[in-house]
Structure 1
């Protein structure tokens, strides 16, 4: 739609498969900015604080789900006892499962955690290596293509909030003027998305080379807005305690996550937009 050019930016979109690879590209200075989930931010904050979360631009409270080929069998969560659950270790997949078990007081249930990569989850389910998977979209959509019913085991909307965030290095050659212009371009795109959702879906479908039905499947689950909310900060803190409790990170490296939130830039942008 030309929003970058309208804000005097010449932007190249460099695609990587997942937030971990995006983050690594940023650290290796292959890119000036990257996008990732808050989980990637949390884990990397234990290793380094030379990067900043500039803004969150999309959120979803229904992105990660428990999925099964026989979901009706597990509607009562007690029935997941002694099942094999496919999980991506140390990720939103595992955090979501643990949160669900705590929320419903089911942490005592014996389950067999089968650790897999994200691209192994659906094949493992289809080949009867696991009974359930804890997975994020678009895996729910992909599984629905093999079934005549929804694959969700339980309505988990609101249990876990996933955010997609713009991150950058603290010491960079990109000045504040261009960072503000980047936020303005994203803001313009967000406004357009709200005003013209069908056309936005069409553009996304074409750019990502995926079917319109896949976009429509989860579109209502996403909230498009620029923010750096206290909820995001609290979410990262909660995830960090979970990572410490499960010995996924070194406890001696515990950090103050305020070090990786650049609230000043977004506040400057918002004040400028408001004409203050």
Structure 2
């Protein structure tokens, strides 16, 4: 063989061996590489929930063992008001929480890192307008020039303005007094305000605290929806637990439809409401696990009200479809209850 050919042949052999060695090393690296880091399964799911009628879904799911059947240990943390519940979730005190339209809308203006997983309750009997007989308020027109206690940027605020507009009263003709929930009863009793825009289950207690001078103004029904929300990261990294939670809630919804008396008894015992109070608000409540397209319309309507009240600007109104995350609910429904 020509010396040059011998040299080239040897060079090719060396090169081939190097390529083979590289291939072996690459294969070993691919085979032995540790799997991508995944979120640890949630050992205990913390759910921040209010104590009103919508909480029946969560309470039933826990008491009937539906969470346990899914392999979930769920701890319910009570919170007063949708904003407080959602704040607990965003601060990491809970993985999931209940939330109303107002809480979703205002938090959606400020941040983009949470999602709506489902709507599980709607009620037309939760919001109340409570006053004193001595204030002589029986209808919307009687509120002109009066002081009404409201929780700013909440359903309490939105409900009052909608009631006034519906009855032909300019909201600005009524003095809005911003209060914390825990201060409303005292403010009404000591005369700091003439009425309060409030909600169950505290409305009944506030009315009772006034005694014989207490009076509930008749108002048109206002539909208040309750949603299941979570941080986007939680819903995605803990997808399995999220689906299980939704499936357990779906079982609870079916139990409530089949056994309303038992469901009401669970709510009364766990919330501290008496049977009469539960009955009073139950008739206007519906329980169903859905993600209705009309939710975006509702949130946009609330956003327009907030803009008109100078609570947010035009540029702050978000695209609410970006917050709706239907995949876990679709997966839960696809498997079906009891399957």
Normalised TM-score (structure 1): 0.89
216, 232, 252: which is aligned to 1:170? 232
The separation in 1 between residues aligned to 2:237 and 2:95, in whole angstroms, is: 8
CA RMSD of aligned residues (A): 2.5
Preserved contact between residue 161 and residue 171 of structure 2 (Cα < 8 Å): no
222, 227, 244: which is aligned to 2:290? 227
Corresponding residue of 2:90: 27
The separation in 2 between residues aligned to 1:80 and 1:28, in whole angstroms, is: 38
* Range moving further from structure 2, 194-203 or 105-114: 105-114
**Is residue 2:144 matched to residue 1:81?**
yes
**Is residue 2:104 matched to residue 1:104?**
no
Q: How far apart are 1:254 and its partner, in Å?
A: 2.0
The separation in 1 between residues aligned to 2:111 and 2:303, in whole angstroms, is: 14
**Is residue 2:203 matched to residue 1:152?**
no
Is there any run of 5+ residues in structure 2 with no aligned partner, and where?
A: 1-63
**Is residue 2:305 matched to residue 1:242?**
yes
Q: Please identify the structure whose Cα radius of gyration is greater.
A: 2
Identify the structure with the greater helix proportion.
2
Preserved contact between residue 133 and residue 213 of structure 2 (Cα < 8 Å): no
Corresponding residue of 2:154: 91
Pair 17,76 (structure 1): closer, same or farther in 2 beyond 3 Å: closer
Pair 134,163 (structure 1): closer, same or farther in 2 beyond 3 Å: same
Pair 149,56 (structure 1): closer, same or farther in 2 beyond 3 Å: farther
More RCO (CA 8 Å, sep 6+): 1
Q: How does 1:31-46 map to 2 (within 5 A)?
A: 31-46=94-109
Number of aligned pairs? 273
Is there any run of 5+ residues in structure 1 with no aligned partner, and where?
A: none
Q: How far apart are 1:154 and its partner, in Å?
A: 2.4
Normalised TM-score (structure 2): 0.73
Q: How does 1:1-276 map to 2 (within 5 A)?
A: 1-70=64-133, 73-107=136-170, 110-145=173-208, 146-147=210-211, 151-157=215-221, 160-172=222-234, 174-273=237-336
